[in-house]
Amino acid sequence: MKFVSLLCLVFIFLFASCSGKIEPRTQTAMDTLCTVNAFEDGTKKLYDEIFERLAQIEKEFSATLPDSEISRINSMAGISAVKTNEEVLNVLDFALKTAWISDGAFTPAAGPLVDLWGINTDHQKIPSQAQINNALELVDFGCVGLSRDSVFLRKAGMKINLGGIVKGFAADEVCKILKMHGVKKAVVDLGGNIYVYGKKSDGSKWTVGIKNPESPSSAPLLRLCINENSVVTSGSYERYFESNGKRYHHIFDPATGFPADSGIVSATVISPSSIAADALSTATFVLGVEKSFKLLDKFKKEFGSDISFVFVCKYGSVFASADLKGSLEFVQDDSRKIVFVP
């Protein structure tokens, strides 16, 4: 009997090593937990390549690593232009376009506010109004100058921070690697920035949960069934601190310098372009429901992209784009209705 089980084990081992398939990989990258599951096409080589790419993206785009491209650009603010690579220029260019189109609700120049509030760091605090006013002077995307090969921040003290867009960019880059290797299906989760890639074997749609902002660690609030797509959520429940019973979270309204309080507590954007979904989830979270409808219309016209949305608001109402009718429902049989917006 023992011999039979040993033989089975040997067979399983041989089979596993022949097919090369291994378990999905979870690792920290870009300051967050990332998981990639390429199912039957998952190999050590594939996962190594993906996580090396994520580490490289972090090294370029981090606002805290002193040698990153972003830190080099920030250190020369008000002094001189800094030569950088095409990848950084492209992401910055996209961030600036989103800034123009969202009237600055999304801004690549949010660095001074991010650093001042220090959410989730050892120096998080509610700043004084004078400090906020000083930071706001520097949150000025019109003073980010891009040329063919360099970036110049025109005011001393300005700081680029691409935390609101880089995971989306990274998810798109992971998909390029999956495509290059002929992977048939995969789920990419970069700290909640999701990409469902390819088709499931039984032909059914992918199911993605949208967290309950009131209770993010329990069952999801909504279930979304979709084909290949990226699903990105910005919420006030991920990174925050509380003082005198009030929550101060990590997405800032550049109009006030305070954590955004637009009425939206969770903004999900769905698009085949994860960089677009990431930028727009942050922008819509800042803008609130009404202004976001206009922003998304403008964005679709400008970029011709496929964009859907799900907004969960403060008192529990849920607004979603009409194209999600039949694909979006409450997980628990809920008497609440989703308002689908044409």
Per CB under 6 A, does 164 bind ligand ADP? yes
164 marked as binding residue: yes
278 marked as binding residue: yes
Determine the straight-line distance between the first and last CA of the chain, rounded to whole angstroms. Answer: 65
Per CB under 6 A, does 94 bind ligand ADP? no
| Shortest spacing between CB 191 and Mg ion, in angstroms | 11
Which lies closer to ligand ADP via its Cβ, residue 141 or residue 293?
A: 141
Which lies closer to Mg ion via its Cβ, residue 165 or residue 318?
A: 165
Residue 62 CB contacts under 8 Å (≥ 6 apart), including other chains = 30, 31, 68, 70, 71
Q: From Mg ion, ligand ADP, none, which one binds at residue 250 (CB under 5 to 8 Å depending on kind)? A: ligand ADP
Q: Which residue is listed with tokens 């967290």?
A: 211
- Contact stretch for ligand ADP (CB under 6 A) within 1-9, 197-205, 220-228, 244-252: 244-252
Question: What's the alpha-carbon Rg for the chain, to the nearest Å?
Answer: 22
Alpha-helix residue ranges (DSSP H) falling in 208-309: 274-287, 289-303
Per CB under 6 A, does 288 bind ligand ADP? no
Q: From Mg ion, ligand ADP, none, which one binds at residue 206 (CB under 5 to 8 Å depending on kind)? A: none
Which lies closer to ligand ADP via its Cβ, residue 46 or residue 248?
A: 248
Helix (H, G, I), strand (E, B) or coil at 154: coil
256 marked as binding residue: no
252-285: buried (b, 16+ CB within 10 Å) or exposed (e) per residue? bbbeebebbebebbbbbbbbbbbbbbbbbbbbbb
| Cβ proximity of 248 and 287 under 8 Å | no
- The DSSP secondary-structure symbol of 204 reads P
Residue 25 has, within 13 A of its CA and on its CB side, a CA count of: 19
- Contact stretch for Mg ion (CB under 5 A) within 118-126, 282-290, 310-318, 323-331: 282-290
Instruction: Calculate ∠ Cα 10-14-19, nearest 5°.
Output: 150
- Contact stretch for ligand ADP (CB under 6 A) within 129-137, 141-149, 170-178, 245-253: 245-253
| Shortest spacing between CB 271 and Mg ion, in angstroms | 12
Axis-axis angle for helices 166-180, 44-61 (nearest 10): 150
Helix (H, G, I), strand (E, B) or coil at 86: helix
Per CB under 6 A, does 254 bind ligand ADP? yes
Site string for ligand ADP, 261-280 (x = CB under 6 A): -----------------x--
Site string for ligand ADP, 96-115 (x = CB under 6 A): ----------xx--x---x-
The H or E element containing residue 206 is strand 206-210
| Cβ proximity of 332 and 219 under 8 Å | yes
- Contact stretch for ligand ADP (CB under 6 A) within 36-44, 207-215, 250-258, 309-317: 250-258
Per CB under 6 A, does 60 bind ligand ADP? no
Nearest position to ligand ADP, beta carbon: 163
- The DSSP secondary-structure symbol of 26 reads E
Summarize the annotated binding site for Mg(2+) as residue ranges: 164, 278, 282
Summarize the annotated binding site as residue ranges: 164, 278, 282
Query: Residues interacting with Mg ion, by CB under 5 A?
Result: 164, 278, 281-282
Query: Residues interacting with ligand ADP, by CB under 6 A?
Result: 106-107, 110, 114, 161, 163-164, 192, 234, 238, 250-252, 254, 278, 281-282, 286
